[in-house]
């Protein structure tokens, strides 16, 4: 599909209706695999449900599994999207979105798995998983992905030790750094946070995907895989050209819209620690998910579990880091938010209209970092943009504050490349957009008129 332009001058959404595309393969193969794993996970917890809730727990387990088996069948036979029936705070928003999608279709057609936008359908699957749990008390608080997330944290132990040790070394010498050295460390930890995004359990359909090697040492070798590197603009946005930490202007607020728990979250916390301890930021606001999402995404429970776990580690620099993070949370230097908009299927250009409170909150930030692929897809509306389209235009007016996407590529949308850059990558390496091997640090500070 070669950049089909709709009437509104915006390319079509990526969709499984384009047979053979990555979207199609995801809906056909990867999503049913994830559903099967969720069913297995619930089944494996049968004894736990019995111990906690008795026979009622076992009945709930059975009902959830039958709900999910039906869902998998709906997906595989391309059935119409059904309205949600639970009493979530977001249920109405989802059902209104279904109406909106219906109004975009021909009269005799309905939104469905292989016809509707991929972004919508993939988000919808995770929301339906949540529905299967919510509708079935007493197991309605069960996080079907928790075990996978904690396993990914433990499997990255060596890398977590390495990065915490590195952080504590920096913090000890922070006052002796020249501005240039400070910038050098900033760029390093920004890249560590970027590559932390490789560890994603949704793209590997729940297969183990953790960080084994030392994250700082690998950076030099990875540099050539960063297709767009605006990190110097991110530095300028934070410092305004002035030395941080000095007597000058009061330092600002950085918001991090999180992606995955496990190793990636640790790299984000390390980066946030550095921002605060260097004086580059006064406050860091984290934004996570209000329900289990895309297998490994961070929830409030994952966020506090990770800090507690790091604090309790039997390693001096890890536990010191964790204790510091706990203090940052306690004294309000760090804040965690989980607005329901992050688990809606909406493109971010809808945020100002559909979640004005969240948009206003982001406007308070001096810089917003968006981690990962799903955020990138929502930033760019998950559409079939030409690779040379500007990031600003793909944002379609979404610019609550200066913002930067830190993303390893796992879906076939990528804008802001140089002429021929995409073509030569395709010729050399057809899977470059979905392998997770490449990354971008893509910045936008203002909305340019189209
Ligand atoms: Mg994720």
Percent of the chain with pLDDT over 90: 88
Q: How far apart are CA 263 and CA 155, in angstroms?
A: 9
**Token pair belonging to 205:** 């359909």
| DSSP per-residue string spanning 98-134 | HHHHHHTS-TT---BTTTSBHHHHHHHHHHHHHHHHH
Has residue 448 got a pLDDT over 50? Answer: no
Residues comprising the chain, all counted: 450
Determine the distance separating the centroid of ligand 1 and the alpha carbon of 260, expressed in angstroms. Answer: 5
Which residue pairs from 37-40 have beta carbons closer than 8 angstroms and sit at least 24 positions apart in sequence? 37/205, 37/206, 38/68, 38/129, 38/144, 38/145, 39/65, 39/68, 39/69, 39/72
Dihedral angle sign, alpha carbons of residues 117, 120, 125, 131: negative
Determine the distance separating the centroid of ligand 1 and the alpha carbon of 366, expressed in angstroms. Answer: 24
Would you tell me the crossing angle of helices 263-277 and 316-330 to the nearest 10 degrees?
70
Determine the distance separating the centroid of ligand 1 and the alpha carbon of 82, expressed in angstroms. Answer: 25
For 359, phi then psi, to 5°, come to -60, -45
Task: Please list, in sequence order, all residues whose beta carbon lies within 8 angstroms of the beta carbon of residue 168, skipping any fewer than 6 positions away.
Answer: 317, 320, 321
User: How crowded is residue 178: how many other Cβ atoms within 10 Å of its Cβ?
Assistant: 9
Determine the distance separating the centroid of ligand 1 and the alpha carbon of 20, expressed in angstroms. Answer: 23
Determine the distance separating the centroid of ligand 1 and the alpha carbon of 246, expressed in angstroms. Answer: 37
Q: How far apart are CA 63 and CA 56, in angstroms?
A: 11
Whole-structure pTM value: 0.95
The 3-state secondary structure of 143-193 reads CCCHHHHHHHHHHCHHHHHHHHHHHHHHHHHHHHCCHHHHHHHHHHHHHHH
Q: How far apart are CA 441 and CA 302, in angstroms?
A: 25
Determine the distance separating the centroid of ligand 1 and the alpha carbon of 193, expressed in angstroms. Answer: 14
Which CA distances in Å does 402 have to 103, 234, 237? 34, 9, 7
Determine the distance separating the centroid of ligand 1 and the alpha carbon of 199, expressed in angstroms. Answer: 9
- For 342-353, what is each residue's pLDDT tens digit? 999 999 999 999
Determine the distance separating the centroid of ligand 1 and the alpha carbon of 437, expressed in angstroms. Answer: 16
Determine the distance separating the centroid of ligand 1 and the alpha carbon of 111, expressed in angstroms. Answer: 25
- For 82-136, what is each residue's pLDDT tens digit? 999 999 999 999 999 999 999 999 989 999 999 999 999 999 999 999 999 999 9
Which CA distances in Å does 327 have to 14, 128, 321, 428? 43, 36, 10, 48
Determine the distance separating the centroid of ligand 1 and the alpha carbon of 266, expressed in angstroms. Answer: 14
Residue 214, classified by CB atoms within 10 Å of its CB into exposed (0-12), middle (13-18) or buried (19+), is: middle
Determine the distance separating the centroid of ligand 1 and the alpha carbon of 88, expressed in angstroms. Answer: 22
Q: Say which DSSP state 26 is in.
A: I
Q: How far apart are CA 56 and CA 61, in angstroms?
A: 9
**Token pair 């010729």: residue:** 427
CB-based neighbours (< 5 A) of ligand 1, an ion: 259-260, 294, 297
Query: Comparing 78 with 211, which gets the higher pLDDT?
Result: 78
Q: How far apart are CA 134 and CA 284, in angstroms?
A: 32
Determine the distance separating the centroid of ligand 1 and the alpha carbon of 259, expressed in angstroms. Answer: 5
For 53, phi then psi, to 5°, come to -130, 0
Which spans in 312-367 are helix H?
Answer: 316-330, 351-354, 356-363
Determine the distance separating the centroid of ligand 1 and the alpha carbon of 106, expressed in angstroms. Answer: 33
**pLDDT grade for 10, boundaries at 50, 70 and 90:** very high
Prior bond of 138 cis (ω within 30°): yes
**pLDDT grade for 240, boundaries at 50, 70 and 90:** confident
Helix (H) and strand (E) counts for the chain?
19, 7
Determine the distance separating the centroid of ligand 1 and the alpha carbon of 200, expressed in angstroms. Answer: 6
How far does Cα 107 stand from its chain's mean position?
A: 35
Determine the distance separating the centroid of ligand 1 and the alpha carbon of 51, expressed in angstroms. Answer: 31
- For 173-199, what is each residue's pLDDT tens digit? 999 999 999 999 999 999 999 999 986
- For 397-431, what is each residue's pLDDT tens digit? 999 999 999 999 999 999 999 999 999 999 999 99
Determine the distance separating the centroid of ligand 1 and the alpha carbon of 279, expressed in angstroms. Answer: 29
Coil, helix or strand at residue 148: helix
Determine the distance separating the centroid of ligand 1 and the alpha carbon of 346, expressed in angstroms. Answer: 16
Q: How far apart are CA 10 and CA 4, in angstroms?
A: 8
User: How crowded is residue 151: how many other Cβ atoms within 10 Å of its Cβ?
Assistant: 15
* pLDDT value of position 214: 74
* pLDDT value of position 218: 84
* Rg, Å, the chain Cα set: 22
- For 367-398, what is each residue's pLDDT tens digit? 999 999 999 999 999 999 999 999 999 999 99
**Are 164 and 318 a contacting pair, CB within 8 Å?**
yes
* pLDDT value of position 9: 80
**Are 243 and 183 a contacting pair, CB within 8 Å?**
no
């Amino acid at each position: 599909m070669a950049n089909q332009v709709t009437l509104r001058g915006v390319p079509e959404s990526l969709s499984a209706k384009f047979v053979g595309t990555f979207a199609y393969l995801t809906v056909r193969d990867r999503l049913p695999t994830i559903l099967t794993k969720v069913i297995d996970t619930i089944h494996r917890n049968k004894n736990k449900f019995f111990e906690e809730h008795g026979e009622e727990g076992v009945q709930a387990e059975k009902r959830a599994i039958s709900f999910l088996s039906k869902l998998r069948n709906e997906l595989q036979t391309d059935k119409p999207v059904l309205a949600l029936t639970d009493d979530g705070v977001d249920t109405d928003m989802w059902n209104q979105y279904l109406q909106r999608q219906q109004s975009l279709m021909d009269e005799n057609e309905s939104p469905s798995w292989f016809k509707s936008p991929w972004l919508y359908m993939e988000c919808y699957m995770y929301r339906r998983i949540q529905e299967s749990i919510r509708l079935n008390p007493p197991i309605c608080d069960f996080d079907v992905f928790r075990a996978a997330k904690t396993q990914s944290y433990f499997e990255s132990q060596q890398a977590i030790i390495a990065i915490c040790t590195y952080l504590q070394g920096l913090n000890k010498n922070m006052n002796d750094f020249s501005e240039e050295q400070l910038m050098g460390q900033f760029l390093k930890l920004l890249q560590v946070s970027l590559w932390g995004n490789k560890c994603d359990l949704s793209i590997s359909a729940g297969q183990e995907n953790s960080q084994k090697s030392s994250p700082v040492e690998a950076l030099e070798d990875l540099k050539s895989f960063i297709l767009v590197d605006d990190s110097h603009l991110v530095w300028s946005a934070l410092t305004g050209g002035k030395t941080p930490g000095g007597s000058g202007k009061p330092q600002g607020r950085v918001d991090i819209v999180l992606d995955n728990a496990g190793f990636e979250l640790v790299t984000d916390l390390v980066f946030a620690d550095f921002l605060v301890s260097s004086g580059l930021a006064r406050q860091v606001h984290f934004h996570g998910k209000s329900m289990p999402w895309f297998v490994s995404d961070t929830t409030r429970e994952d966020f506090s579990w990770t800090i507690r776990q790091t604090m309790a580690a039997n390693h001096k620099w890890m536990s010191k880091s964790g204790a510091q993070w706990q203090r940052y949370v306690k004294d309000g230097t760090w804040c965690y938010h989980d607005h329901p908009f992050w688990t809606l299927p909406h493109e971010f250009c809808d945020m100002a209209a559909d979640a004005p409170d969240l948009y206003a909150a982001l406007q308070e930030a001096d810089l917003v970092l968006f981690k990962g692929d799903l955020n990138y897809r929502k930033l760019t509306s998950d559409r079939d943009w030409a690779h040379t389209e500007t990031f600003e235009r793909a944002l379609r007016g979404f610019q609550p504050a200066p913002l930067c996407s830190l993303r390893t590529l796992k879906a076939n949308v990528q804008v802001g490349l140089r002429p021929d850059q995409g073509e030569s990558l395709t010729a050399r390496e057809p899977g470059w957009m979905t392998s997770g091997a490449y990354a971008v640090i893509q910045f936008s500070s203002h909305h340019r008129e189209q």
